[in-house]
Structure formats: C-alpha cells, structure tokens
C-alpha cells in the first residue's frame, strides 16, 4: 500500500478517545473548581466589558486606564445594588422577633390541622420537624462554607478581568499562531453570544425584580422589595430560580397574613411574571443569542450543579451555548448542534455559524446551503 494513503476513520477509537478526554476534563474541573469558577466568570465579564473598553481606547484613553474606569464603574454599581439588598435584609432581621411569634402561631395551627384532619400525632410531627431541622442545619452550614468561597471568588474576579483584558492581544496572537486565521471565526461568535446573553440577562433580571416587587407590594406583603429583588436575582438560574424565589414570599404570606389567599396571590403574581418572562420578555431581549432548547438547558443545569454547585448552574446556559459554537466548528461533532439548537422560532436569520450548521444539515441533499458573511 502507498505510504501516503490516509488511514481510514475508526469511529470506535475516536469515540473512546473523546470519552476519555471528557472524563479527564470533568475530573480536572471538579478538582480545580476554586480556580476555574473565578476564571470562568472573569472570562465572561471580560468579553462583556470589551466593547466599552474599545470605545474608550478609540478616544485615545490608555488601555490600563480604560480597563480601570470600566472596572471601577462596575464595582460602584454593584456596590450600590448590594447596599440596597443589605439595607432590606437589615429591615428583615429587625423584624425577626415579630416574625418568630407569628411563625410559632402558624406552626401551632398547622399542628392542630395535622392532628385533626390527617391523624398525624404530636410525636410523629416532632420527629418530622427534627429531621427537617437537621437537614436545614446541614444546608445552612454548606451555605456558610460557600459564603467564604464566594467572598474569595469576588475578590479574584476583578483581578483576573484586568489581566485578561490587558493581555488580550497576547491571547489573540496565541490563537493565531496555533490555528489558521479562517479557523478563528468562532471568536466572533463567542463574543456575540456572551455579550448578547449577559447584557440581556442583566436587563431581564431588572425587569423581573421590578414586576415581582410591584406585585408583592400590591398584595401588601411585608418586605416586598427584598423578596422582589431576590427573586429577580435568582432568575439568573434558569427554570429553578423562579421557583426558589417564589418560596420565600409564599412562606412570608402564610406566616404574616390571616388568609391563605395572600399566598395564592403570590403564586398568581409569580406565575404571571414567569409567563411574561418566558413568552415575551426574554425572547425579545436576549432573542436567539444562545438559542438552546429546554431539554439541553435542563441537562446542562443538572450537570453544572452537580459539578460546580450554584456557580455551575449559573454558568450552565452560556457554557452550553459556547459548546454549541465549538461543536459547529468541529468536523466530526457538528451534528450534535442539532440536539442543542432551539428551532421553535421557525425560520430565522442565522446569528452564528452554529445556526448555519443546523440549516446546512437540514438542507443537505436539497437546496444549496446558505453561506455566512463574517
């Protein structure tokens, strides 16, 4: 046989090597999560800040000064936002003695109802409460431990952002030396997806927080502003966040109000806001920037949460969006883009090369596939 004859493709060997690489990558992420989490958030935020920094540089502002101005402004805005939340939390803590009395009254009423209507004895109720308290204590201990990690992460992120942005030309030259220039098409797609998704997510979070706050204020619920803002922040975690955000005001309504209709009102408010968010707000603001179907998003959330906890759930959707782009540029794996793509919006103008890959595969054997102008 001639020496220049190419070796036939071995699908089994390729699959085996791919699975080994995935397993090693997941293990490395789990072991080095304290390093990877701030790196991931810093990388995403660096891409979001990049257009503003470039505009400052175009106005003859130095690179280091441009980065410092943008970082400082961001920190100040976040500081004001955190101050608002802390101020609301102080008000909630100050009201705890009153809430404790109302909570004990609520528990007594529940205990009588369980004995009368469900036949659950006081001893059985105490056992259930004891198990619940042990679970809550373990959960709070985990939160306390993760709070220390969160503070450490928040300190590291601005440092990494500054370094990523100050050395961005080195990263570009590195990829140019490693790959052909035409293979760097994914770079523009990555920037477009991250900038569109994060900026849209920030606006959606503000709108959801405002709508929930207005609804809770209309119901006359105590500490409505705090619960409204908290629910808006929790929407960063897709699907799961809105449920967690609704639990706290529901419990507050059950404790502080004499009628169960207030709790039902909270459910109605959050259901309406969730309907508006899923069908009008998010599609119009973030559009198809990530364009991931619900099944892929839920699987990504479960895997991200299992590997990196809450941080993994927050990073799951943009992470799988980036994976979709990279798969579209991988010859033997680009068909997997079809499994990730959300095509519920029928025909649309391609936003990234991943969208074009889906259209090319769907039209294979039919019309001439569309071309991408970059």
3-state secondary structure 152-174: HHHHHHHHHHHHHHHCHHHHHHH
**Most confident of the ranges 284-298, 343-357, 360-374:** 284-298
Look at residue 98 and tell me whether its pLDDT is greater than 70: no
Look at residue 3 and tell me whether its pLDDT is greater than 70: no
- From CA 45, how far away is CA 315, in angstroms rounded? 12
Look at residue 119 and tell me whether its pLDDT is greater than 90: no
- From CA 291, how far away is CA 313, in angstroms rounded? 17
Ramachandran quadrant class, 56 (left: phi over 0; alpha: psi -120 to 50; beta: rest): alpha
pLDDT of 366: 46
pLDDT of 120: 66
Task: Locate 159 and state its tokens.
Answer: 């440092």
Least confident of 141-155, 172-186, 220-234: 141-155
Burial of 203 (0-12, 13-18, 19+ CB in 10 A): middle
Q: Is the pTM of this model over 0.85?
A: no
Task: Locate 216 and state its tokens.
Answer: 């809770």
Asked if residues 281 and 204 have their Cβ atoms less than 8 Å apart, the reply is: yes
Look at residue 56 and tell me whether its pLDDT is greater than 70: yes
- From CA 107, how far away is CA 88, in angstroms rounded? 26
């Amino acid at each position: 046989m001639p020496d220049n004859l190419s070796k036939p493709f071995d699908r089994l060997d390729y699959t085996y090597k791919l699975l080994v690489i995935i397993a090693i990558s997941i293990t490395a992420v789990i072991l080095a999560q304290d390093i990877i989490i701030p790196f991931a958030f810093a990388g995403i935020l660096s891409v979001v800040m990049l257009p503003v920094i470039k505009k400052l540089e175009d106005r003859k502002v130095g690179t280091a000064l441009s980065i410092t101005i943008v970082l400082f402004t961001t920190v100040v805005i976040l500081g004001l936002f955190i101050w608002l939340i802390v101020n609301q939390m102080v008000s909630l803590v100050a009201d705890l003695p009153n809430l404790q009395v109302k909570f004990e009254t609520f528990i007594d009423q529940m205990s009588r109802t369980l004995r009368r209507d469900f036949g659950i004895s006081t001893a059985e109720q105490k056992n259930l409460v004891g198990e619940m308290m042990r679970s809550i204590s373990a959960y709070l201990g985990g939160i306390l431990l993760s709070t220390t990690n969160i503070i450490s992460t928040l300190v590291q992120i601005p440092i990494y952002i500054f370094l990523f942005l100050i050395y961005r030309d080195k990263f570009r030259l590195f990829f140019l030396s490693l790959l052909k220039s035409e293979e760097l098409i994914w770079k523009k797609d990555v920037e477009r997806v991250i900038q569109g998704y994060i900026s849209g997510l920030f606006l959606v979070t503000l709108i959801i927080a405002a709508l929930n706050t207005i609804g809770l204020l209309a119901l006359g619920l105590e500490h409505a502003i705090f619960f409204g803002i908290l629910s808006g922040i929790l929407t960063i975690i897709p699907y799961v966040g809105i449920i967690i955000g609704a639990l706290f005001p529901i419990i507050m309504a059950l404790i502080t109000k004499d009628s169960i209709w207030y709790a039902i009102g909270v459910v109605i408010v959050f259901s309406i806001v969730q309907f508006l968010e899923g069908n009008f707000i998010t599609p119009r603001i973030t559009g198809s920037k990530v364009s991931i179907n619900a099944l892929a998003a839920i699987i990504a959330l479960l895997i991200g949460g299992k590997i990196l906890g809450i941080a993994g759930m927050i990073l799951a959707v943009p992470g799988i969006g980036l994976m979709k782009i990279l798969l579209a540029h991988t010859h033997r794996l680009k068909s997997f883009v079809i499994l990730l793509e959300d095509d519920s919006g029928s025909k649309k103008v391609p936003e990234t090369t991943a969208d074009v890959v889906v259209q090319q595969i769907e039209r294979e054997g039919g019309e001439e596939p569309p071309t991408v102008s970059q």
